[in-house]
Structure 1
C-alpha cells in the first residue's frame, strides 16, 4: 500500500482526474444499484396482476392495463439507468485514458531526469537495455493498474457498502455472512500474493537482463555476426526466458490452487445466502419481487469479492514493477558517485614551480590520486599545468591512465585526493563542461540528421553556422553527395556513414561548440590514411588558439604538440618538449624507436601504446 501511495504522491498533479474518474464510477455504481430495485418492483407488479386476474377481484382488462402502464414506466426507468451507465461510464473511461497517458509522461520524464542526474559510475555497472526494459515494464504495469483501480475503487466500495446496508435492512444474517466473506477472501488473497510477488520479482530480473542483452546485441550486430556468436547469444537469451517459464509455472500453480480454495469458500458462503433467500420467500417473509432484488444484490455482492482478487493481483504486479522504478528513483547521485572533488576555477595565480611550465595555467592537476570504486589507485600523484593555447599530449602504455585524466578533467569522476583547476569551471559541472570540447575515438553520433548532430552542442546554431564549420571539418565534401544534404538521416550511431565521415562530423560538432579547452581522445586512431588526413586537417583548424589535451600514438600528431606528458603505471614519468623527450631515453624515446623498427617483437611492443589507456 505504501508503494501505491507513493505513486499517488508522485502524480499528485493528476488528482482532478482521479476525483473525476471516481465521481463517474460513483454515478455508474448508483445506476447499477437501481436495477435490482426496478426489476424487483416489476416482478411484484406482474405477480400481483396475475394473482388478481386469477382470483377475479377485478376485470382482466383493468388489471392488465394498470400493470402494463407501471411495467412500461419501469422499463423506461431501466433504459434511463442503462443510458446513464453507458454515458457516464464512457466519460470516466475517457478521463482514465487521459490520466494514464499523463501518468506515463510524468513517471517516464522523472525517470529520465534521474538517469541524466546520475553520475558516470552508475552507467559503468548497468546495461543500457536493462535500463530501458525497466522503464517500459515498470511504468506500463503501474499506469495500467492505476487506470483500472481508479475506475474500480469507488465501484467496489459503494457496491459493498450498499449491498451490506440493504441486506441488513431486509434480513441481518445476510449482511453478517457477507461481512465474513469479504475479509476472509481478502486474507486468503493476501496469503496467495506473498509468494506470487516474490516469484514475480525473480521473473523481472530474468526479463530485465535478457532485454538488456537483447538491446546490446542488436546494437552490436556486426560484431556478433563477425564472431559467429548468433547461436550462443540466442541460447543465453532463451535460457533466461526458459527460467521465467519455470517461475511462471510455480507461480501459476500456487495461484490457482489458492484460487480454488478461495472460490470454494466463497461458493459455500453464497450457497448459504441463496438458501436463506429462497426459504424466506417460500415461507412468505420475502415477496417474489424482494427475492429477485436480493438475488441480484447477491450477484452484485459477489462481483466486488471476485474483483478483489484481480485488484490484488494487479496491485502486486504494479508493486513488483514499481520496486525497480523506485530503486532507480531512490538513488542518491552523490552516494552513487562516491564523492571526490571535481575541477574548480583557479583561485589565484601561482608562480610556476618547474621550468617551462605556463605562467597562468588553463588546466592544473595538483597531486591527483584516483581509483575506481574500491580498487587501488589508477592515478597516483599526478601534477602538471597546461597553459592557455598550449597543446599537450599524453603518451603511455595501455592502462597507464591517459583517458582517465581526461575523464577527471570533464568531471565524470571525483578524485580521491588532490586538486584540479580549470579556467571556466564554475559552481556546477555544466559550467565546466561548457568550457570543454571533446572529440572521442568513437564519434558517438545520434540518430537524426547530419545538421542535428553537428549542432548537438549548440542547438540554437543557425544553418549558416552549421555549414561553415562543416566546410572547415571537410564534412561538406561528402554531404554534397546526399540528396537531402545536411538533412540526411544517418541512422542509429551514424550507421549509414563511414568511420571517417562520422569522425569529421564529430570534429565539426566540437568546432561549433567553440569551447576554449579541447580534448582529443585518440580521435584519428581508427581511421584509414586518407580519412585520417582529412580529419587531421580539421583537428589542426580546431586546435588553433585552444588549450588542447591530446591522447594519441601517431608520431605525426605527437610531434606537433608543445609538450608531452608520459605516463607509466598511473604515474607521470616525464614532462617535456618532443625534442627533449626524444633524447631522454624514456617512454617517448622508446616509442620513436619502435615506430621506426620493423622487428616483429618491436611491432608487438608498439601495439601496447596504440590502445587507449
Structure 2
C-alpha cells in the first residue's frame, strides 16, 4: 500500500477533498447508526404492550415518533451519502487530472534515448491503465468503503459498551482477513504484472497498427496483426486462470473463517438474550450493528482486489516518473510534474539565437558521440559554416549523417568535443534555446490533426493570417491550399492523411519558414516524393534556404552541386571537406559518386544507393 499512500501524499493539494470525505463519511456513519437504536426502542415498546406493561395508545405515539425519527435519519443519511459521493467523484477526477498532467509533462521532458526503447502505443496504454486503476480505487474507497470503515469503528465502540466479548469477536475479523490476504497478494501481484505486460504490448501494437493502417493493408498483414493481438490477449486469459483460481481459492478460506466467526457472534447474541442479559430490543439492535460490520468485511475481498490493481498501476506510474529528465529540460516542464492543477505555463515562443558576427553559425569541434558506451558512431568530427552558407553531408547509410542531425537538435548530449550554434556552446544552452534556433524539414513530414493553418503556425501559434499566407506562397503551397473548399481551415486528419506527400512536405516547408530559425536542417526532405512533387517542394526549399545557414542531407547529387561545402562521412569520421569542385577532383567518395551517377549500370546504381542517393531523373539502368 506504500505506493498508494505515495500517490495520496503527492496530491496533497486535494486535502480539502480528503477532509470532506472524512467529515461526510463520519456524519453518514452516525446517521446510519440511528436506525438500530430506533428499532431497539420500537421492539421493546411492542414487547411491553404484548406483556401488558404499556398501554396501546402510549405505544402508538412512541412508535409514530420513532418512525418519524427513522425517516428523518434515513433522509439525512441519503443526502450525506450523495454529498460524499459527489466529493469522492470530484476528488477522483482531480486526482486523474493531476496524475495525467504530471505524466504527460514528464514524458515531454524525457530524453530521446528513453523513447528509442519504447513503443508509443505502450506508453499511451500504460497511462490509461495505471491512472484509471488508481483513480477508480480511490473513488470506490471514498464513496463506499471508507464510510463503512468509520461505521465499523463506531459499532465496535457500541458493542464494547454492551458486551466486550462480542467486540473481540468482531474485531478479530479484520486481522484474520488481512493475514489471509497477505498470503495471497505476492503471487497475485506477480501474475498481474505479467498480465499488464501483455495488455500494454497488445494495446501498444494496436495503436501503432491503426496509425499506420495503410501500410498494414498494403502488405495484406491484417490477419497477422490480428493474430498477434489475439495471442497476447489469449495469454492474459491463460495468466488470469491461475491468478483468479488462486485468489478465489484463498478467498473461500477467508470467507469460511469469517462465516465461522459470525456463527459464534450470533450464538453469543442468541444465548445471552435467552439468559436475560439482553432484551429482545437489544438483540435486534446488536444484530443490526453486527450486520453493519458484516457488509464491509465481506466487501473487503472486492476492495482489496481493486487495491491490488491500483498498486500495480501506481508502480508503473512511478517507474516513469522516476526517469531522469533530459539535462536541459525546460524548467516549466519540470515544475509541471509537481503541479496540482492546470500548470501555469508561459506559452510565448522561445526566441531563436542571433548569430554573433564574425563567428561560425554552426561548428562541430572534435565531436564524438556514442549511443552505447564504448561504441562511438561519430569520431572526432570537425567542420563549420558561417551565416548563409550551405553544407551537405554525404556518406553511406548508417555513416553518421542522421546522428549529426540528432546532435544538432539537442536530442542527445555529445560524448566528447564541442558543438557551437550561433556562437554558443550547446552545453551552455537550454534545450528550448537550441531547438528554437534550428529549423528542420524531415524526410517524412510530421503533421498533426487539425487545420492547415494550425500546422503551418505550429512553431508560432500567434502568427497572423497574413504571415501564414506569405510563407505558404513562398513554400509553393498556397495554390493547392486555396483549392480546398475551406482553404487554410481545411482539417487534414491525423498525420495529414488528407494531403498528398508533396502537399504535406510543402506545408512542412512553410512551417519551417514561419519558425525563421537561423540554422536549417534538410534531412532528405524530398526523397519520398515523385519527380513532379519533388520539383514543387524543391522550389519551396530554395526559398527557405535563402540567407540561412543550412545543413543538407540530400538524395540527388544535383541538389547539392551548388552548396558551399561538402562533408563526406565514412564510418563516422569526416573523410573529406571541401567545395563541390574541389571534391569532384579529389578522387574521394564524392568524386566516385559523381562517376556512379553518370553510369547507367545496375551495379553502379546499387553502390550509389548505399550512400542514400538516386540517379537524376531521365537516366535508364542497363546490365553490365
TM-score by length of 2: 0.91
2:181 aligns with 189
Q: Does 2:310 align with 1:318?
A: yes
1:588 aligns with 590
2:21 aligns with 21
Q: Does 2:518 align with 1:519?
A: no
In 1, are the aligned partners of 2:556 and 2:613 still within 8 Å (CA)?
no
Q: Does 2:193 align with 1:201?
A: yes
Q: Report deviation, 1:117.
A: 0.5
Distance across 2 between alignment mates of 1:483 and 1:553: 35
1:121 aligns with 113
Q: Does 2:6 align with 1:3?
A: no
Secondary structure (helix, strand or coil) at the match of 1:474 reads coil
Q: After superposition, give the CA deviation of every residue in 1:339-376 in whole Å (9 maximum; x if it has no partner).
A: xxxxx999999xxxxxxxxx621111111111112361
Distance across 2 between alignment mates of 1:274 and 1:252: 32
**Structure 2 counterparts to residues 244-393 of structure 1, below 5 A:** 244-334=236-326, 360-374=359-373, 376-393=375-392
Distance across 1 between alignment mates of 2:569 and 2:272: 96
Q: Report deviation, 1:335.
A: 8.6
1:83 aligns with 75
**Structure 2 counterparts to residues 141-540 of structure 1, below 5 A:** 141-152=133-144, 154-334=146-326, 360-374=359-373, 376-423=375-422, 425=424, 427-540=429-542
Q: Report deviation, 1:271.
A: 0.6
Q: After superposition, give the CA deviation of every residue in 1:162-199 in whole Å (9 maximum; x if it has no partner).
A: 21122122112111211222211111122222221111
Secondary structure (helix, strand or coil) at the match of 2:511 reads helix
Q: After superposition, give the CA deviation of every residue in 1:141-162 in whole Å (9 maximum; x if it has no partner).
A: 1111112222345423322222
**Structure 2 counterparts to residues 534-549 of structure 1, below 5 A:** 534-549=536-551
In structure 2, relative to structure 1, the CA distance for the partners of 1:313 and 1:460 (3 Å cut) is same
Q: Report deviation, 1:334.
A: 4.8
Distance across 2 between alignment mates of 1:182 and 1:609: 71
In 2, are the aligned partners of 1:410 and 1:433 still within 8 Å (CA)?
yes
Secondary structure (helix, strand or coil) at the match of 2:101 reads helix
Distance across 1 between alignment mates of 2:260 and 2:86: 39
Distance across 1 between alignment mates of 2:244 and 2:541: 62
Distance across 2 between alignment mates of 1:600 and 1:334: 46
Secondary structure (helix, strand or coil) at the match of 1:209 reads helix
> Is the deviation greater in 150-159 or in 510-519?
150-159
Distance across 2 between alignment mates of 1:348 and 1:132: 43
In 1, are the aligned partners of 2:409 and 2:435 still within 8 Å (CA)?
yes
In structure 2, relative to structure 1, the CA distance for the partners of 1:595 and 1:388 (3 Å cut) is same
Secondary structure (helix, strand or coil) at the match of 1:411 reads coil
1:71 aligns with 63
In 1, are the aligned partners of 2:449 and 2:493 still within 8 Å (CA)?
yes
In 1, are the aligned partners of 2:364 and 2:419 still within 8 Å (CA)?
yes
Q: Report deviation, 1:506.
A: 0.2
In 2, are the aligned partners of 1:475 and 1:501 still within 8 Å (CA)?
yes
Distance across 2 between alignment mates of 1:611 and 1:333: 37
Secondary structure (helix, strand or coil) at the match of 1:505 reads helix
Secondary structure (helix, strand or coil) at the match of 1:39 reads helix
2:336 aligns with none
Distance across 2 between alignment mates of 1:205 and 1:489: 36
1:352 aligns with none
Q: After superposition, give the CA deviation of every residue in 1:196-239 in whole Å (9 maximum; x if it has no partner).
A: 11111111111111111111111121222222222221111111
2:564 aligns with 562
TM-score by length of 1: 0.93
Distance across 2 between alignment mates of 1:452 and 1:334: 28
Q: Report deviation, 1:311.
A: 2.4
In 1, are the aligned partners of 2:554 and 2:560 still within 8 Å (CA)?
yes
In 1, are the aligned partners of 2:370 and 2:377 still within 8 Å (CA)?
yes
Secondary structure (helix, strand or coil) at the match of 2:373 reads coil
Distance across 1 between alignment mates of 2:491 and 2:226: 31
Distance across 2 between alignment mates of 1:185 and 1:392: 72
1:602 aligns with 604
In 1, are the aligned partners of 2:390 and 2:552 still within 8 Å (CA)?
yes
In 2, are the aligned partners of 1:346 and 1:421 still within 8 Å (CA)?
no
Secondary structure (helix, strand or coil) at the match of 2:491 reads coil
Distance across 2 between alignment mates of 1:346 and 1:374: 35
Number of paired residues? 589
Distance across 1 between alignment mates of 2:316 and 2:495: 28
Distance across 1 between alignment mates of 2:140 and 2:146: 11
In 2, are the aligned partners of 1:346 and 1:422 still within 8 Å (CA)?
no
